[in-house]
Amino acid sequence: MELIQKTAAQLHRLLRDREITAAEITDAVFAQIAACEPQVQSYLALTEASARKTAALVDQKLAGGEDLPPLAGIPIAVKDNLCTEGVTTTCASKMLYNFVPPYSATVVKKVEENLLPITGKVNLDEFAMGSSCENSHFQKTRNPHDLSRVPGGSSGGSAASVAAGEAVLALGSDTGGSIRQPASFCGIVGLKPTYGAVSRYGLVAFASSLDQVGPMARSCEDAAMLFSAITGADEMDATSCDRGHRADYRDYLARDVKGMTVGIPKEYFGEGIDEEVSSAVMQAAQVFRSLGAQVKEVSLPSSPHALSAYYIISSAEASSNLARFDGVKYGYRSEHYQNLQEMYVNTRTEGFGAEVKRRIMLGTYVLSSGYFDAYYKKGKAFQSALCAEFDACFAGCDFLLTPTVPQTAFKLGENIDDPVKMYKSDICTVPVNIAGLPALAMPCGRDKQGLPIGMQLIGPHFGEDVLLSAGHHYEQATGYQFTVPAIASK
Amino acid sequence: MEIDVRHIAKLSYLKIEDDEIETYQKQMSDIIQMVEALPDQADFDAKPRVEDAMQLREDEIRPSTPRDKLLQNAPQVEAGCVIVPKTLE
Amino acid sequence: MEYEVVIGLEIHAELSTKTKIYCGCKNSFGSEVNSQCCPICLGMPGTLPTLNKQVVEYAIRMGHATHCTINNVTKQDRKNYIYPDLPKAYQISQYDIPLCENGYLEFMVDGEKKRVGITRIHIEEDAGKLIHADSFDGSLVDFNRCGVPLIEIVSEPDIRSPEEAHAYLETIRSILLYLDISDCKMQEGSLRCDVNVSLMPKGSNTFGTRCEMKNVNTFSGAVRAIEYEMARQKEILDAGGVIEQETRRWNDAKGVTELLRSKEDAQDYRYFPEPDLRTIYIPEVHVEELKATIPELPNQKIERYMIAYGLPQKEATLIAEDVSRSHFFERCLEGGKVAPKSVCNWLLGDIAKVLNERGCELGDLALTPERLVELISLIDQKTISTTSAKTVLECILDDGEIAIDQIVKEKGLAQVSDTAVLEAIVAEVLAENAKAVEDYHNGKTNVLGFLVGQCMKRSKGQGNPGLMRQLLEEKI
C-alpha cells in the first residue's frame, strides 16, 4: 500500500517500528503534491525546505531512541488564515497578498512542537467567507473526487489536500461549517471543537465569537490525535479554556457506544435535504443502533432560524474585525489616492473581494445606529434560546446525528451568483457554531455519482471525547477505509 | 425594506459603484428579510454572566517586538514610523 | 440676559501600571518611537487582547474613592472608528456597563463645600500618536501609546463655574495621586479632558444645548476654554441665535474653540460587546478588599488637620491637596517632637518658595522629614535662631549627607546665650547709638526693636534675641 493512502495513526506505527522514515513520508507527500497540484490547486504556498528539515530532525531523534510525540513526522497542511512566522499568510485575499506575520498562531506553534512537518499554506474562501473556495483571490481549488466540483469551503484547500494525499492532516477553521462542509464534500473527517477548546491566537479573525480552529483528517483516530496536540487553554486567548480532559484523546476511542443515546433532530431531515443524504445518515443511525446505542427522535425547533442569527452575528463581528485592513500597517495599499480618506476607501475597495465586501456592508448595517437592537441583540437573544434547546436535548442524549450538508459537492460556478442559496449549504452546521458546541463531520456513504456524503455528530460542550469514540466505532463497524480518489492519484 | 447602501458603504470605507447599488440592495435585503423572520425572545437578558468569567492577566512585562520586525510589512516607513497621508490637524 | 453655565467634564487618566492594558508591553512614556510595541499593539491579524488585572483593580479603587457603585460583573465593548492612530480600527472600551457608576465627589470652593456627581468610570485603551513634520509630506505614526490603560471619569453636569471646574479637576488629580494609580503628568498627556458646556437663563432648570470641547490638556486651559465658550455662546444667544450641538476643539495657542464636527456629522461608533474577551468578574470579597486599600483622601485630611492640629483651613488644604507634601508633613509629626504649625510654616514658607523657584517637587530634594524635624528642634531648643535655621536649610536642601550640627558649628550659627558676651555687645551698641538711647528715654520705647536688631547684627545673628532684649532693657 502506498504511503499516501495511509492514515496518520498507521504512519505513526510504521515510524515507531522503524519500518519507514519521516523523510520517506515527506517525500511521498511532496511527490503527490507535484503530481496533483496542477489539477487540485490546494496550496497557496509550499514550505518544502522547512518540512524536510523537520522530517530529518524526527528521523535523527528516532535514530537516537528519543520518545517522540505521536504525530512527529506526519506532514500537515495549514489553512492560510493561520499565522505562520516568516511565511506569507494571505487569507486568500489581495488585501494580505504579501503579509508575512512576525509571529505564529498558537496552534501552529503546537504543531511545530509536536514535530509535524508543515507542507505549506492551503487555499480558502477569502477571509474564510464562503462555502466553495471560489472566493479565493488566487485560485479555485477543485474537489479531488470530481475536478468539476468545488471542494467546499471555506477550508477547501485543507480538505482537498488531505483527500488528494497532498497532506496527511490539515488544520482548518470553522465559523459556520468551514471545517465540516468541505470535509463532507471531500470525504474526510473534520472536527469543529467546542468554542474555547482550541486557541484562536494567530487565527485571522472572521467572527471572533464563532471561529474555532480544528483538525481535518482521514479517520477519527487521526482527528483525535491532532485534536490532542492542539487543544488546551492559551494565555494569549482569553476565550480559551481547559476542561480537564486527558492529554491524549485516543484514550477515549475504545469507549463503548453500547448504552449511549443518539438523538435524531427531526428538523435536520426535512425540506431542503437531499433524499440520498438523509437516507445515508439514517443508515448510519442504524449502525449505531446495531452497536447497542439507543436512537431516538428529538427536536431543535429553533434550528431553521440559526442561519439568520449566524449572518447577523458573524457579519457584525466581521465588519469590525476587517476594519483594520486599511493599508497603513501591513498588506495591500492602493496606489491611487490624494489623501487619507481616499487611501482608506481605495485600498479596501481594491483589496477585498465581493463576498467580503457584502459581509462587511451587512455587518456595518446591523450594527449601525438605530438597528442594533433590531438585529444584533435579536441575534444574541436567539443564540441563548438555541443553546437552551440543545441543552435540553443533551439532557437525554449523548450526541445528536444529522447530515453535515444538505447535498453533496456542487459544480464550480453553480451557486456563485446567489448568496442566499450558497448560504443554505450551511444550514446543518451553523447551529453548532451559534451554540458553541463541538461537532464531528465524517463520511457515511456515497451518492449515485460516487460523491462522498457526510454525517455530523454534535456533542455537548467539551464532549469531543464522546464524538470521537462514537465516530471511531462507526468506522470500525462499517470497515471504513480512507482512499485517495483515483482521479487525484494518477 | 430600503437599505441606504451608500451610507453603509461610507461607514464601511468602501466604494460601491452606481451600477452595483441595486445588486447590493437586493442581496442585503434578501438576507435582512431572512433575519426579520427571527422569533422574538422577550425574556432575553443580555447581561454578562459570571459563568463566562475570564482569567485576567497579571501585570508583568514581556519583551516587545524589535521595531524592524514589527514594521516589516508596512507599505511605507520613515524614521521608525509608519507613514500615512497627512492628517488634518 | 444673565446666564448660568452648566459644565460636565470627561477626564481621561492614564494608569501607571507596569504593562499595557491588553498585552505585556511596557507602559512607559518617552521611549524611542515604536519601541514599546508588539503585534497586539499594532492590531495585527490574528492577535487577541488579554486584560490586565491591575487595570481593573486601579479603576475599582478610583470608583471606591469617588463613592461609586462597582459593577463587578461586567464586560468590554468595541467602539468602531477608523483613524491612523487606532490600529485595530476600534477602541476596546466599555459601553453600557461601566466598571463604576453613580458616585460623587466633594471639594471646597471659596470656603464652601461642593458636591459633583460621578456618572461613570470605565476602562479603555489609549491610541497612538501622530507626528506632523512640516518638512515631510505625510504624518508619522508612533504606536507606543497604543494600549496604554486609561480610565475615563465622566461627571454629571453639576459644575456651575470655571472655578468649580478647576477645583473639581484638582480634586480628581489629587485623588489619582493619593491612590498612586496615575502619575497625572499633564505635559506628558497622562491627564486630559473633554469639557461639555451649555448656558441656561439664570434661575432656569432647563439645560441649554451643549457643546463638547476636545483636546483640553491643562487645567488652566480648561478654565480658559470654558470662559471662551461661555462668552461665545452668550453672544449667540443674546443675538437671538440658537446653539448648535457640536464638537469643538480647544486651540490652546490661539485661546479659541474651533468647530470639529456638527451633530449631523456625529460618528456612528457601532458599539457592540467585545467578542475576544469574556466576562470581567471580580468577586465581591475582592472588591471589598480593594476598598480597604483606599488611603485617607484629601478631604478627610483637611478636616483632620484642622481639628487635630489646629491648622487654619487654607493651610490645611494647601498641605492636604498635595500628596507628597502631606506625606512629608505627616512623617514630620510622627515622633511628636515638633509642633504641626511649625512644620506647616516651613513647608508652605521657605520650602514651597524653593520648589516654586526651581519648578520641582518635594521628592526631588535631598531634604527628609527627619532632617526638617531636627532643624525645627534646634530652634525650639533655642540652639539656633530662626534666621540661622534658614541658612542651615539652604545647606540641607540638596545635601542629605552633611550633619546639621556640623553646619551649625562650621558656620558658627549656634545661638549665644552667654550673658557676659551679650552684655559686652549691648554696652557697645548703647555707646554707639546715643541718639536712640535718648529717644528711648523721651518715651519712644519702640526704638528698642532697632537696638535689638543692632545687637543681633553685631552678634552675626547668633545672639539669643530674647536675652538680648532683656539685657538692653536693663542697661539702657
The predicted structure's pLDDT at residue C470: 85
Percent of chain A with pLDDT over 70: 99
The sheet with strand C211-216 has its strands ordered as C69-70, C100-109, C112-125, C149-155, C3-14, C191-201, C211-216, C246-251, C256-262
Q: How far apart are CA C233 and CA A252, in angstroms?
A: 74
Instruction: Give the amino acid at A311.
Output: Y
Contact C272 A316 (CB under 8 A): yes
Q: Which residues of C touch B67 (CB under 8 A)?
A: 33-35, 37
Give the residue from C52, C123, C139 with the most B CB atoms within 10 Å of its CB, the best one to mutate: C139
- Please report how the helices C434-441 and C419-432 are oriented relative to each other, as an axis angle in degrees rounded to 10: 90
> pLDDT tens digit string along A351-400?
999 999 999 999 999 999 888 888 999 999 999 999 999 999 999 999 99
The mean pLDDT value for C198-203 works out to 94
Distance CA A250, CA A263 (A): 24
Residue C406 cell numbers, joined: 556640623
Does residue C259 share a domain with residue C136? yes
Whether A244 shows a pLDDT value over 80: the answer reads no
Q: Greater confidence, A87 or A369? A: A87
Q: Quick check: helix, strand or coil at residue A181?
A: helix
Confidence of residue A488 (pLDDT cuts 50, 70, 90): low
The per-residue pLDDT for A490 is 45
> In this prediction, what percent of chain A has a pLDDT beyond 90?
92
Please report residues of A whose CB lies closer than 8 A to that of C46: 81-83, 89, 101, 103, 105, 200-205
Residue type, C383: T
Identify the domain boundary among C271, C290, C309: C290
Q: Are residues C306 and C277 in the same domain?
A: no
Low-confidence winner among A156-170, A319-333, B20-34, C265-279 (lowest mean pLDDT): B20-34
With a pLDDT cut of 90, the percent of chain C lying above it is 67
Whether B1 has its CB under 8 Å from any CB of chain C: the answer is no
Judged by CB atoms closer than 8 Å, whether chains meet at C35 and B11 is answered as: no
Residue with cell 516587545: B64
Note whether C272 contacts A320, CB cutoff 8 Å: yes
Biggest distance spanned by C-alpha atoms of chain C: 97
Q: Which residues of A touch C88 (CB under 8 A)?
A: 323-324
DSSP conformational letter for C416: B
DSSP state of A308: H
- What helix, strand, coil percent values describe chain B, rounded to 5? 35, 10, 55
Residues C301 and C339 in one domain: yes
pLDDT tens figures, C74-125: 999 999 999 999 999 999 999 999 999 999 999 988 888 999 999 999 999 9
Partner B contacted by C195 (CB < 8 A): no
Report how far Cα A324 is from the mean position of its chain's Cα atoms. Answer: 25
- Sheet of strand C139-142: strand arrangement: B77-78, B81-84, C139-142, C129-132
- Residue B88 confidence (pLDDT): 66
Instruction: From A483, A403, A7, A467, select the one nearest A177 (Cα to Cα).
Output: A403
Q: Domain extents for chain A?
A: 3-260+463-489
Instruction: Give just the sign of the alpha carbon dihedral C44, C45, C46, C49.
Output: positive
Whole-number Cα distances in Å, A232 to A236, A238, C46? 12, 12, 18
- Rounded to the nearest integer, the mean pLDDT of chain C is 92
Q: What residues of chain A, 9 to 48, have a C-beta less than 8 Å from chain B?
A: none
Separation of alpha carbons A485 and B13, rounded Å: 45
Q: Which residues contact C438 (CB under 8 A, 6 or more apart)?
A: none
Q: Of chain C residues 258-317, which have a CB less than 8 A from chain B?
A: 268, 270, 273, 277-281
Q: Cβ neighbours of residue A268 under 8 Å, at least 6 residues apart?
A: A300, A303, A402, A403, A428
C39 touches chain B (CB under 8 A): yes
Residue A155's Cβ-count burial label (10 Å; 0-12, 13-18, 19+) is: buried
Look at A323 and B76 and tell me if their CB atoms are within 8 Å.
Answer: no
Shared domain for C72 and C139, answered yes or no, is yes
pLDDT tens string C355-374: 999 988 888 899 999 999 99
Mean per-residue pLDDT for C265-291?
A: 95
Q: Does A338 touch chain B (CB under 8 A)?
A: yes
Mind listing the pLDDT tens digit for each residue in A449-479?
999 999 999 999 999 999 999 999 999 999 9
Q: Which residues contact residue A244 at a Cβ distance below 8 angstroms, ignoring those fewer than 6 apart? A: none
Residues C355 and C433 reside in one and the same domain? no
DSSP structure string for A368-390: STTTTIIIIIHHHHHHHHHHHHH
Contact (CB, 8 A) for A273 and A264: no
Number of Cβ atoms within 10 Å of the Cβ of C337:
13
Give the DSSP letter string of C76-145: -EEEE---TT-TTSEEEE--SS-SEEEEEEEEEETTEEEEEEEEEEEEEE---EEEE-TTSSSEEEE-TT
Q: Where are the domains of chain B?
A: 5-36
Tens digits of per-residue pLDDT, A161-208? 999 999 999 999 999 999 999 999 999 999 999 999 999 999 999 999
Angle (CA) A460-A159-A424 rounded to 5° is 65
pLDDT in tens, C417-427: 778 888 888 88
pLDDT of the residue at A487: 65
Query: How much of chain C, in percent, has pLDDT values that exceed 70?
Result: 100
pLDDT at B71 over 70: yes
pLDDT digits (tens, 9 = 90+) for A253-307: 999 999 999 999 999 998 889 999 999 999 999 999 999 999 999 999 999 899 9
Structural domain for C317, as ranges: 296-410
Across residues A234-241, what is the average pLDDT? 96
Sign of CA dihedral C217, C222, C223, C225: positive
State the Cα–Cα distance between residues A90 and A127, nearest whole angstrom.
Answer: 9
| Same domain membership, residue C208 and residue C75 | yes
C291 alpha carbon, distance to own chain's centre: 22
C-alpha distance from A383 to closest chain B C-alpha (Å) = 10
A96's CB contacts (< 8 A; 6+ apart) are A88, A89, A90, A204, A325, A330, A331, A332, C45
Res. C288: pLDDT tops 90: yes
Question: What are the angstrom distances between the C-alpha of A261 and each of A245, A250, A351?
Answer: 22, 21, 49
More confident residue, C436 or C148: C148
- Which one, of C395, C375, C391, lies nearest residue C383 by Cα? C375
Contact A466, A17 (CB under 8 A): no
Answer for the pair B82, B74: CB distance below 8 angstroms, yes or no: yes
Classify burial at B18, counting beta carbons within 10 Å of its beta carbon; exposed 0-12, middle 13-18, buried 19 or more: exposed
pLDDT digits (tens, 9 = 90+) for A443-452: 999 999 999 9
SS3 assignment, position C408: helix
What is the C-alpha to C-alpha distance for residues A196 and A211, in angstroms, rounded to an integer? 9
Element (H, E) at A135: none
A305–B54 CB contact, under 8 Å: no
Which residues is C196 bridged to in the sheet? Answer: C8, C212
pLDDT of residue A489: 47
Residue A411 contacts residue A150 (beta carbons within 8 Å): yes
Q: Is A392 left (phi over 0), alpha (psi -120 to 50) or beta?
A: alpha
3-state helix, strand, coil in chain C (%, to 5): 40, 20, 35
Distance of CA C66 to the CA centre of its chain: 16
Residue C136's alpha-carbon distances to A336, B84, B85, C90, C131, in angstroms, are 20, 11, 10, 28, 10
Side-chain-side CA neighbours of A348 within 13 Å: the count stands at 27
Using the Cα atoms of residue A134, residue A138, residue A140 and residue A141 in order, give the sign of their dihedral.
Answer: negative
Same-domain check for residues C393 and C448: no
3-state helix, strand, coil in chain A (%, to 5): 45, 15, 40
Q: How many CB atoms lie within 10 A of CB A432?
A: 29
Compute the nearest-CA separation of B23 from chain C (Å): 25
Domain match, C191 and C46 both? yes
Per-residue CA distances from C341 to C315, C332, C333, C369, C376 (Å): 9, 11, 10, 15, 11
Calculate mean pLDDT across residues A84-101.
98
| Residue B37: exposure state from Cβ atoms within 10 A (0-12, 13-18, ≥19) | exposed
Quote the pLDDT of residue B89.
52
Cell matching residue B1: 425594506
3-class SS of residue C29: coil
Smallest CA–CA separation between B68 and chain A, in Å? 10
Q: How far does the CA of residue A122 sit from the closest CA of chain C (Å)?
A: 17
Q: Which of A327, B8, A361 is nearest to C84 (CA)?
A: A327
Residue A388's alpha-carbon distances to A141, A383, A435, B37, C384, in angstroms, are: 38, 9, 9, 20, 84
Q: What is the CATH number of the domain that holds C434?
A: 1.10.10.410
Phi, psi of C47 (to 5 degrees): -80, 155
Cβ–Cβ < 8 Å for A223, A217: yes
The arrangement of secondary structure in A3-260+463-489, i.e. its CATH architecture, is: Alpha-Beta Complex (3.90)
- How many C-beta atoms lie closer than 10 Å to residue C268's C-beta? 15
Q: What is the mean pLDDT of residues C293-304?
A: 92
Say if residues C268 and A368 touch (Cβ distance below 8 Å): yes
At C440-459, the pLDDT tens digits run: 888 888 888 888 888 888 88
Name the domain count of chain C: 3
* Integer Rg of chain C from CA: 30
Q: Do residues A224 and A472 lie in contact, with contact meaning Cβ atoms separated by under 8 Å?
A: yes
CA distance A83 to A205: 11
**Chain A contact for C278 (CB, 8 A cutoff):** yes
pLDDT of residue B1: 64
Residue B15: half-sphere exposure toward Cβ, Cα within 13 Å: 13
Q: What is the pLDDT of residue C445?
A: 83
Between CA C113 and CA A178 the distance in angstroms is 63
